[in-house]
Every structure is written in structure tokens, then in C-alpha cells.
Amino acid sequence: MEEDYIKLIFGLKLKQIRSDRNLSLFGLSKLSGLSKSYLNEIEKGKKYPKPDKIAILSEKLDVPYDQFVSLKLDKNLAPIGDILKSKILKEIPLELFGIKESDLIDIVANAPDKVNAFISTIIEIAQHYSFSKESFYLASVRSFQEANNNYFEALEQSVIKFAEAYQLDLKANISSLELEEILVEEYGYTINNKELENYKELDNLRSIFIPKTKTLLVANHIDEAQRTFIYAKEIAYNYLNYKERLYTFSWIKFENFDQVLNNFYASYFAGSLILPQELLTNQVEKLFKKKTFDEKQFVQIAQSFNASPESFYQRLTNILPKDFNIQNLFFLRFIHKKNSPNFYLTKELHLSHQHSPHANETNEHYCRRWMSLKVLKDIVNTNDKHVFNLQISNYPDSNQSYLVLSSATKDPFKTDQYRSVSIGLLINQQLKRKLNFLEDKKIETFNVGVTCERCAIKDCKERMVPAKILEKEQKNLKIETVVNDIFKQFS
């Protein structure tokens, strides 16, 4: 048994026994002759009393000594014991959100049966939706990004210092050759571009790092932008001195939360290096000043960097909140297989508001009027390398509208699969002040829903299935109204 676990169990038992005797900490202190602060430290699991002190508590509280030191908990505290033994509290990244483990234990201890029911419910929901530990970690990082408006000044400054130290020009495109030279000369890497071709099972992997020999196996068929991003991430792991890290890209599994967080930090560093803040901000500012939206200029900005469309759109979620004070936005990534009716939301980020849509695991049909899905259908039909479009998406239910910009490309790792990335900006007075082209009449507006099953739009030609969930909610609302009328009539 871990020492911390034993301390916590004893503290919880003492607190419960004291509460059962209707004693305050002050009262127990007078009864036992032990200081109030000392007893408080015991109950919080910070200290474990010596045998003579346990004997005093045993005598004064009329509890057998063996019962006190036993790790067996009664039925009220048993759920807490299960939680502590499972080490789930160690896996939750509490410190990331400024929460102390002891605080959470206090909450559990004060109402063990209710908290246990709550935790059990969360676990049941997670199991029902196949919510893995990795999913929980990723959701935690996403919440961390949202809490910080997805901008991290320390990482931005680290990139600037790195560029100065290695004489990289942040006003020009950074190539994979420049970064490869740093990896080889500075960090002792060996780059192997052929080995992964020998393993068909690894077709979807872009790279594997072998720490023992500092060998980086890189898929030979990736493009220049992908190679540059991989090298930039490897540099980040080394320059930022992250010991806990992932060794494959894309990831296979996470061993602990630090790997997830460091993977995010390394990706952020890479994005900041490849798409420098000052350079990108200046170009975006010129676009925003125009009276009409210049699609050609937007695409040129994206293609002027040695980065994929996804990296470009994700980088916008860093600079728009910081440099333009546009903090109400979302980022989405969808994938779609040719000839398949399904669209899958595989990545999302929501800043300030909980914007629609969210990843849906209930097999509902995403609204076909979203620009994210339209560009996917367009690229399948045209077979172009890149399809871009934009629209104003109006949600009648919430009375909110978003300017949504989307790009679709072919997935280089999977046959007949495509992906789209989108950024949506909430239309409010702040956005109207920042974007001169927002009144451009050429930008079409569409009423959209979240899923067909929940959509109130009646004349939708793209509807896949009836709005059965919405209809059920409306039916229940009518029943509730009638019941309330009856109560008023007979009250």
C-alpha cells in the first residue's frame, strides 16, 4: 500500500468517527489533548499519528485500536477507498486546473454516497460511449487550451529565443532541411526515410522515434510541410527538455497525462515556429481591412507558409484571440470516406462559448448545411487538391451566427478519404469592427442546425432523417404544460 493512501484512509476514518460523535475539531482536541492543527493534518491525510497517539484517540472515542488502523472501510466510506485504490485521482490532471487532490478528497469525504453515485455515473457514461483514458486526457488538454484562449506566451517566446540561437529567419519560410540539420548536428539524430516502408501495418504512421539510438524513422511519402512539422516537434521535445513524450506520430496510446500535455506543447511550438506570429498577424490584418472578402488572398496566405491547411487553421486559433481579440471561435476537423454517407468530427476546439457542433457519439446526422461538410462533398466530386469556401451559418434556435471558413484536402495516408478543417467566428459587434468584409453581399447565409434529429428547420432539402429527438422534446413539453394547467385548476 502506498503511504499516502494509508494516511488518507486513516484521516477519513477519523473524520467520520468524529462526525458520528458530533464532535468539532476543537472538541476532539479538548477530549484527546492533541492539538487542533495536528488533528486537522491527520484528517486531511497529511500526517499519520504514532501508535501512542492512536491509542489516545482509540480510548477517548471508544473505538478499538485494530479498527482504527485497519484499512477496511465501512459501507459509507468504501466507495472512497475504491476510488483511492484505483489511483484515478492520480490520473486526473487536477493541478492543470488549480485543484488540489486534498480538496477533492474533502468533497468526497463530506458526502461519500452522493459523490460515489456521481462518479459511478460518469464512469458508466464513459463506458457507454467508449470514452477511454486517452479521450479523457485529450479532453482535459482541450479544456486547458480553452481556459487560456489557446495562446501560450511562454511557448511563443521560446520559439523566438530558439530562432535567435540557431539563426533561423522567422520572416522567411523554414524548410525541413534547416530543421533536419539542427536535429542531426545539435541533438545527434539519425534520420531514416526508408525503414517504415518495410511495414505495411504502419502505413498511417508518419514517424517513429527510437530514443536509445536517437533514430527518427520518417515515412518517405509525406510531403514537405508534414516533414517540417515532424522535425519541428522533435526539436521542441529537445529544446524544451520534455522527458515524458510520445514516440510515434500520429499517436498510438498515451502512458500518462504528461505525455499528452507535452505532445500539445511540442505541437504548439512547431506551429509557432513554422507560422510565426508577427508574420501571420500582419498578413491576416491586411485581409481583414478589405471591404470584400478576397478568397485568393486568403488561400495565398495559407499557402505562403510551409504548413498544411490544418496547421494554418489551428494557428489562426492562437493569433485571433491574442492579436485581434476575437475570442469567440471554434475549430473543427472532419473526415469523410468517398461513397460513404457518414462524416466524422475527429478534432474540435471551442473558445469562450460552447459553440455547435460537438463530436457526437449517438449516431445522429450532422447538419449537411455546414460548410465543413460542403467542402468535403465538393472535393469528392471535383477531385481537386484543395477546395475552399466560406459562409455565414445562422443557428435559428440560439439566434447566433458564425462566419465559417473551410478547406478540404485529400488524406495522403488513406485511399479515397478526405478531411476538412474549419474555423468559425461568432458574429458580434467585436467581429464587425475587426472584419471590414463582413458585410460583403457575396458571402451567403444559411440557416443550419446541429443534427437532423434535433433540427427545427422544416424546408431543409438536405435533411437525412426526421427530427425525432426534437419532436419527442416538444411532445414532452406539451405534456408538461397540460399537467401544469391541471395543477392550477385544482389548486
Model confidence pLDDT, tens digit, residues 427-440 = 999 999 999 999 99
Residue, of 360 and 64, whose pLDDT is higher: 64
Which residues have a Cβ under 8 Å from the Cβ of 450 and sit 6 or more positions away?
356, 357, 366, 367, 395
pLDDT band at 333 (very low <50, low <70, confident <90, very high): very high
pLDDT at 39 over 70: yes
pLDDT computed for residue 105 by the predictor: 63
Are the beta carbons of 234 and 245 closer than 8 angstroms?
Answer: no
- The DSSP string of 375-439 is HHHHHHHH--SEEEEEEEEEETTTTEEEEEEEEEEE-TTSTTEEEEEEEEEE-SHHHHHH-GGGG
pLDDT at 210 over 80: yes
As a whole number of angstroms, the distance between CA 349 and CA 332 comes to 7
pLDDT at 101 over 80: no
Q: Which helix (H) or strand (E) holds 124?
A: helix 112-128
CA 147 to chain centre: 11
pLDDT computed for residue 144 by the predictor: 86
What does the pLDDT average to over 66-92?
67
pLDDT band at 81 (very low <50, low <70, confident <90, very high): low
Are the beta carbons of 208 and 226 closer than 8 angstroms?
Answer: no
Q: How many CB atoms lie under 10 A from the CB of residue 89?
A: 14
Range ranked top by mean pLDDT from 113-127, 246-260, 411-425? 411-425
As a whole number of angstroms, the distance between CA 477 and CA 384 comes to 48
Q: Is 11 exposed, middle or buried (0-12, 13-18, 19+ CB in 10 A)?
A: buried
What does the pLDDT average to over 229-252?
93
pLDDT at 113 over 70: no
pLDDT computed for residue 177 by the predictor: 96
As a whole number of angstroms, the distance between CA 406 and CA 374 comes to 9
pLDDT at 95 over 80: no
Residue, of 220 and 134, whose pLDDT is higher: 220
Are the beta carbons of 18 and 28 closer than 8 angstroms?
Answer: yes
According to DSSP, residue 62 is labeled T
pLDDT at 359 over 80: no
pLDDT at 215 over 80: yes
For 197-332, where are the alpha helices, taking DSSP H only? 224-239, 257-274, 277-288, 295-303, 309-323
pLDDT computed for residue 82 by the predictor: 63
- The DSSP string of 17-35 is HHHHTT--HHHHHHHH---
As a whole number of angstroms, the distance between CA 365 and CA 342 comes to 8
pLDDT computed for residue 334 by the predictor: 93
pLDDT at 441 over 50: yes
As a whole number of angstroms, the distance between CA 189 and CA 237 comes to 13
pLDDT at 117 over 50: yes
pLDDT band at 305 (very low <50, low <70, confident <90, very high): very high
pLDDT band at 127 (very low <50, low <70, confident <90, very high): low
pLDDT computed for residue 414 by the predictor: 83
Looking at 101-115, 258-272, 310-324, which range is the least confident one? 101-115
Range ranked top by mean pLDDT from 125-129, 467-471, 484-488? 484-488
List 387's β-bridge partners, or say none.
Answer: 408
Looking at 25-34, 132-141, 201-210, which range is the least confident one? 132-141
Long-range contacts from 426-433, C-beta under 8 angstroms, 24+ separation? 426/328, 426/329, 426/352, 426/353, 426/355, 426/400, 426/401, 426/402, 427/392, 427/400, 427/401, 427/402, 427/403, 428/328, 430/325, 430/326, 430/328, 431/326, 431/328, 431/403
pLDDT at 188 over 80: yes
As a whole number of angstroms, the distance between CA 458 and CA 471 comes to 12
Of 135, 127, 109, 120, the C-alpha closest to 86 is: 120
CA 243 to chain centre: 22
List 406's β-bridge partners, or say none.
Answer: 389, 422
pLDDT at 84 over 70: no
Hey, what amino acid is at 159? V
pLDDT band at 1 (very low <50, low <70, confident <90, very high): very low
pLDDT at 168 over 70: yes
445-447 vs 248-249, strand pairing mode: unpaired
- Average pLDDT of the chain? 86
What does the pLDDT average to over 412-418?
86
Are the beta carbons of 361 and 454 closer than 8 angstroms?
Answer: no
pLDDT at 66 over 80: yes
Which residues have a Cβ under 8 Å from the Cβ of 480 and sit 6 or more positions away?
none
pLDDT > 90: what percent of the chain? Answer: 51
pLDDT computed for residue 185 by the predictor: 96
Q: How many CB atoms lie under 10 A from the CB of residue 255?
A: 10
pLDDT computed for residue 12 by the predictor: 81
Integer CA distances (angstroms), 377 to 284, 337, 455, in order: 28, 10, 21
pLDDT computed for residue 79 by the predictor: 60
